[in-house]
Amino acid sequence: MEKAKAAKNIPPVNWTIHPVGGTEADLPNLYALVPDDGTDGIGVGEVDDIAQLVARAARFLETCQDDGLISEHDPRLGYVWISVTEASKKYSVPWAEVLVACVQGKIPEAKTIDMGGNVTHFEFPEVLFRSWLARWREEQVVTTNGIG
């Protein structure tokens, strides 16, 4: 049995639980998990759904057995497309670093969008950008520490 491992040099994300507000009094009590790193939260559901999630997470932590690999392109992950400028601002990454990564093909599925008038820009799925970002930040730590 292979143990689950935490990513190296990536600070842990702290999650908080929030009720999802609505204007209808008869709406169910829905809750969301929201990370503190500025990335997208996850709508979980009602209290029973959270209990089921906690039980499944506990079983995973005890056994280190997951439910099988899914593609990073799985539509259930909810692609959100962002631009170089949006990614740079949202994740505090130099704009030029993101652009170079797109040009070099380091951010999967990055594509150019024709804005008209000989103007183009790159867009890519945010989840795939975050994968590149984790590797880039790890490289920055290694370089900063004089190892690279």
Each domain of the chain, given as residue ranges in start order, spans 15-63, 75-144
Read off the pLDDT of each residue in 77-85 and give the average, rounded to a whole number.
Answer: 82
DSSP 76: G
This prediction has a pTM of: 0.47
User: Quick one: pLDDT at residue 1?
Assistant: 42
CA 42 to chain centroid:
11
> Does 4 score more than 60 pLDDT?
no
